Amino acid sequence: MKRRDLLTASALAGGALLTSRAYAHVGEPGAELRYWDNHTGFGYEGPQDVALLDHWRKAGAHYVCVNVGFDMMPWSTTILAIADYTKAIEARSDLRLCATLADVRAAWRAGQMAVTFNIEGMGALNENLRMVELYYKLGIRQMLIAYNANNAAGGGCHDKDEGLTDFGRAVIREMNRVGMVVDCAHSGIRSSLEAMRLSDKPCIFSHANVRALRDHERNITDEQIKAVAATGGVVGINGLNLYLGEGPATVEGVVRHIDYIAKLVGTAHVGVALDSDPSGWTAPPAESLTPEMAALFEKYWPARQYPSSVKDDFLQPKALPLIAHRLSAMRYAEKDVRAIMGGNFMRIASQVWAPSRVVGQEAP
């Protein structure tokens, strides 16, 4: 996800594999196809952002996980985003902010789209372990280690990754305790592998593509794919052109990455997380940036990986049913299409999220 616009406003201001853990396969006969988009890509501007979720509603999405913060923005802005989005969602009769999987199912019965929040990077914790439980109570259901660059918890994918710190290891254990999913996207290889070994719950790469198909530091290696599958976890394929391959973002490009993972570790370990930004925002020209802003851009989006000649192109939410259709056309079994489009991430929620609103309870 790339939210460079938010920097200007807030960053400077704030300065077929056998798994080792059991899991239930999702996609039984009679189950419904559910579109579970595990990561949105628009950046926080204010409560009006919630109107962007109409794009997912019109596409028929059943669940979206909305990003409310990443390491480049002050943690206080993350709290503000949660407050604004919560109020705006609660004002909508067609959306429901969900605390439990039971809430998600209740939203579906009521014809609503289920919503939860995520945070990209443990920088939002302000080096305070107690923030993990607070964020969980505020609706955060997954959090990644580091957003592209190193932080107090661990390494980013574009930085010199020296692995998890003592604080990072404590955060992983606390996330397991409260029911928050450990997300290894955007993180360095060593830090992600250490996190997956340490976690006693399934982990995910919420929105990450295959490095063997597209050699980019944000994409993940076969070793990482096998490691997350060994936890019982899932890789969500995103729809950004830079991580898919040459040319514009396409449904075929997304399906190519899905198919690779399905063949490598099985259909139970791959899902969809388009990282869509329907706002129409475009990056400011480099010559308009202050030296401080230019340095931040280079830290989190180094030019060697994000050449100015390549413009962002996202698949939009309306692609969700097209992805399902393409998988069916490739003769994926109906149960596997259901698993990939939503069932696999739903399984993760059933195994990791607290089953009630009481933080720290074990899932059944």
Q: What percent of the chain has pLDDT over 90?
A: 82
Determine the pLDDT at residue 19: 32
Q: What is the pLDDT of residues 73-91, one digit of tens each?
A: 999 999 999 999 999 999 9
Q: How many CA atoms lie within 13 A of 132 on its CB side?
A: 28
Token output for 243: 């991580």
Residue 361: pLDDT band by 50, 70, 90 thresholds? low
Map tokens 């969700």 to a residue: 320
User: Does position 17 have pLDDT exceeding 50, yes or no?
Assistant: no
What is the average pLDDT across 8-20? 33
Residue 14: pLDDT band by 50, 70, 90 thresholds? very low
Determine the pLDDT at residue 352: 98
User: Does position 214 have pLDDT exceeding 60, yes or no?
Assistant: yes
Determine the pLDDT at residue 157: 97
Q: What percent of the chain has pLDDT over 70?
A: 89
Quick one: which of 225, 229, 251 has its CA closest to 238?
251
C-alpha–C-alpha distance, residues 304 and 177, integer Å: 39
Beta strands in the chain (DSSP E): 36-37, 63-70, 95-97, 113-120, 140-144, 181-183, 204-205, 234-237, 270-272
Q: How many CA atoms lie within 13 A of 87 on its CB side?
A: 8
C-alpha–C-alpha distance, residues 265 and 261, integer Å: 6
What is the average pLDDT across 324-351? 98
Domain ranges of the chain: 34-352
Map tokens 């979206």 to a residue: 64
Determine the pLDDT at residue 357: 65
Token output for 130: 């107690």
CATH of 34-352, one of 3.30.413.10, 3.20.20.140, 3.30.1490.190, 3.30.2290.10: 3.20.20.140
**Whole-prediction pTM value?**
0.90
User: Does position 29 have pLDDT exceeding 50, yes or no?
Assistant: no
DSSP code, position 208: -
